[in-house]
Amino acid sequence: MAKNSINLFALGLTFEQLSSELLTYFSKWSEEIDNAEPIFDIKGKQLEHVTRDVPHFQSIYALKAAEAKAVVKWLEIFKSQKESRYLKNYNNSPRALGVKEQSIYLQGEKEIIEINQLIVEANLKLQQFEEIVEALKQLSWTCSNIVKLRVAELTDIVI
């Protein structure tokens, strides 16, 4: 397992534990997203160093994107478990509720709303990590073209 990677099996079983642990990961991920910006500032750097470092950073951020995707999936499963518990309670009530009524009540449950908020936050982080990976691919492509120009002896290129 990579350094500072999330362990889904260690997340709390109660919603309070889950929420507090995920908020910690979300803040770490926000820092990592903010730390990506200097990677793209290649002005004044040697081309060899940039081309050497880009795949490393691309790998790191691709792993973070995979982690965020796993968290989203895990949260969706957790949400399904909570929804099934609520629906079981609705079905055991003395007054029979229709499917539409159950759905409306379910979406209004505080715990379901909070889980949806966590899913939205995790999806946002996932999309940000994926965009960083895409930008690193573009940077790699740009560096590749610069190298091709240098090989063709068109060295008047200023980065």
Residue 30 lies in a domain: no
Residue 3 — φ and ψ, nearest 5°? -60, 135
The CA distance from 140 to 71, in Å, is 28
Tell me the per-residue pLDDT of 54-86, one tens digit each, with 9 for 90 and over: 899 999 999 999 999 999 999 999 999 998 888
Query: pLDDT value at position 58?
Result: 93
pLDDT, averaged in runs of 10, over the chain (159 residues): 58 73 90 90 82 90 94 92 87 79 85 93 96 94 84 64
Query: Among positive and negative, which fits the CA dihedral 121, 124, 128, 134?
Result: positive
Range of the domain at 102: 46-159
* Domain count across the chain: 1
For residue 157, CA distances in Å to 72, 128, 148, 149, 151 come to 44, 31, 11, 8, 12
Residue 103 lies in a domain: yes
The pTM of the whole model exceeds 0.85: no
Tell me the per-residue pLDDT of 6-16, one tens digit each, with 9 for 90 and over: 666 566 667 77
Residue 7 lies in a domain: no
